[in-house]
Amino acid sequence: MHLLSLTITEAARALRRGETTSAGLVRAGLDAVRRHDGLLNAVLHLSPTALEEAERLDAEARGGSFRGPLHGIPLIIKDNIDVAGMPTTVGSPLFADAPPAHSDATAVARLRAAGAVLLGKANLDELAAHVSGTTSFFGPTINPWQPERRLSPGGSSSGTAAAVAAGYCCAGLGTDTGGSTRLPAGWCGLCGLRPTHGLIDLTGVYPRAASLDTVGVLARSVRDIALLLHVIVDPPLLYALEQPSPAGKRRIGVFPDLVEAKAGRKTALRYEAAMRRWESLGAACVPVDFPLLDAPAVGEAVNTVRSFEFARDVARDVEKHPRLGRMHPVPLTDYRNGQSIAPETYEAARRYGAGLTQEVEALFTRHALDWLCLPVAFHTAPPVDSPPETFAAGRALVNLFSITGMPTLVVPGWTEGDGLPLGVQLVGPRLSERLLLDAGIAYEDRYGPFPL
C-alpha cells in the first residue's frame, strides 16, 4: 500500500480495516513535505498538533468509535482560510506576522467534526489575487509534474493543488474567485470543484471578491470531491456515494471548433477522444457554438467586479500598512485599479454578468443540455516566469462561469505531447452539483482515476 497515493475513499477503507493508521498517514505526509517541499514550496505552515491529533483518532478507532467519514484523513487548507492554532497569512507581507487564528472557518470546522486531521496551511498567490502561483510573499509554488521545469501549478490555490498532487495529503480546500481551484486542478492532474456561488459558508475565509468567491475542493478522485462537499455543505448534500446515477441518456454541450481554433489540432483530437468516452457511457455529445464562452468582454467584466470588490473589502488592511511597499505588484496593481473603478462601471459589469447568466441558461434550454464539457484551459501549465498575458489567456475558459456562479467540476482529461496533464471542466446550471458528480463518478468508474 502506497500511503502517499491513496484517495480519501481508499485511506478511509484501510483505516477501518486496520491496514494503516492515521498517524501513519500523517507521518508519511510530513516526511514527504520534508523531502520535497524545499523544491515545491507548497506548504507555509505545518500543524504542530497534527500527529497528536492523529494518534488520538487512532485510539478512538481502536475502540470502535469513528467521528465521521473523514476520521483520521489528513487534509491541507489554503492559507486564506482560518484554521484554529495556525496563522492566516494570505501569502502577503501584510499578514506575515499574523497570530494564530482563534477559531476555524466554518468549512474547516465541519471537516474537523467529520474526523479530518489538518496537516497544515498551503501557499497561495498573495491575497488570492492571481492564477499563477507565483506572487506569494513566501515564494512561488512549483508544479509537481516535471518539477525540474519549474512550471506553474495554477493559482491562486497553488499550494493546495501541489500538496495533493505530490502526495502530502489526500485532499484539501482552496478557494475560487476567477479560476483559483479550476486551473490548479486542470494543470496538476487533479479533480476539483468550484461549487455554485453561495453554496458554501465563507465565514473565516479572507475575501477576494464577495460576489464571486467560493470555497473550492481539490482531491484525487471525483468520489472524494463528493464526500468533501457532503461534509462542508449545510445542510449536507444527501449524496448516494455508492450508487451514482448513470451518465447515459444525458446531453453534453461540446465545443470542438473552438478548441481546434484556439488550442490546435492535436489538442482538439484529444478533446474529441475524451468526448467519445462520454458517448461510450451512453451520453450524447452535442456540438454547440457560444461566442461568449471566451469573449474578451466577459474577462473584462470579471476583472471589473473582482478589482472593485477587492479594493472595497481589503482597504482597511492595505491602506497605510507599513509593509505596503513589499506587496507583489500584481495584487497591488489590482487593488489600485479597483480604487479607480467608478461605482456605476461596477454596477454595469454586475448587470452584464446577470445577462450572461441568462444567456448560458438559455443555451442549456435551447439544446436540452445537461452540462457543458470543455478544457479548463487552451494550454498546459506554463513556466512560473511566464508573462502575465500567458496567465490571463489561461483564464479564458473559466471567466464565464465565475461571473455566472455556476458549478464546475474539473476532471483529468488527458496528457499533452509534453507529458503534462490538462483537465476537462463539466459545467452545469446552478445547484447541479449532484448531476455533475454523478457524471464524474460514472466516468471515473469506467476509465479509472488519473495516475499521479
Q: Which amino acid is at 264?
A: G
C-alpha to C-alpha distance for 426 and 195, rounded to whole angstroms = 12
By the 8 A CB rule, do 111 and 57 touch?
A: no
Q: Which residues are catalytic?
A: 78, 156, 180
By the 8 A CB rule, do 47 and 119 touch?
A: yes
C-alpha to C-alpha distance for 309 and 345, rounded to whole angstroms = 12
C-alpha to C-alpha distance for 63 and 438, rounded to whole angstroms = 34
Q: What local confidence, expressed as pLDDT, does residue 139 receive?
A: 98
Q: What local confidence, expressed as pLDDT, does residue 247 receive?
A: 62
Q: What pTM value is reported for the model?
A: 0.96
Helices (H), 243-369: 256-263, 265-280, 296-318, 329-340, 343-366
Residue 4 is classified by DSSP as G
If we measure between CA atoms, which residue out of 84, 82, 178, 165 comes closest to residue 125?
178
If we measure between CA atoms, which residue out of 215, 295, 282, 318 comes closest to residue 438?
282
Specify the pairing of strand 214-219 against strand 171-176. antiparallel
The helix/strand/coil state of 68 is: coil
Residue 141 is classified by DSSP as -
Grid cell for residue 146? 516535471
Instruction: Walk me through the domains of the chain, giving residue ranges and CATH numbers.
Output: 3-232 (3.90.1300.10), 297-345 (no CATH)
Q: What local confidence, expressed as pLDDT, does residue 58 receive?
A: 98
Q: What local confidence, expressed as pLDDT, does residue 242 receive?
A: 44
Q: What local confidence, expressed as pLDDT, does residue 234 receive?
A: 77
**CA dihedral for 138, 144, 145, 149, sign (positive or negative):** positive
By the 8 A CB rule, do 172 and 155 touch?
A: no
| Per-residue pLDDT of the chain in tens (452 residues, 90 and over written 9) | 567 789 999 999 999 999 999 999 999 999 999 999 999 999 999 999 999 999 999 999 999 999 999 999 999 999 999 999 999 999 999 999 999 999 999 999 999 999 999 999 999 999 999 999 999 999 999 999 999 999 999 999 999 999 999 999 999 999 999 999 999 999 999 999 999 999 999 999 999 999 999 999 999 999 999 999 999 997 765 544 444 555 668 999 999 999 999 999 999 999 999 999 999 999 999 999 999 999 999 999 999 999 999 999 999 999 989 999 999 999 999 999 999 999 999 999 999 999 999 999 999 999 999 999 999 999 999 999 999 889 988 899 999 999 999 999 999 999 999 999 999 999 999 999 999 999 999 999 998 876 54
Q: What local confidence, expressed as pLDDT, does residue 383 receive?
A: 98
Q: What local confidence, expressed as pLDDT, does residue 447 receive?
A: 87
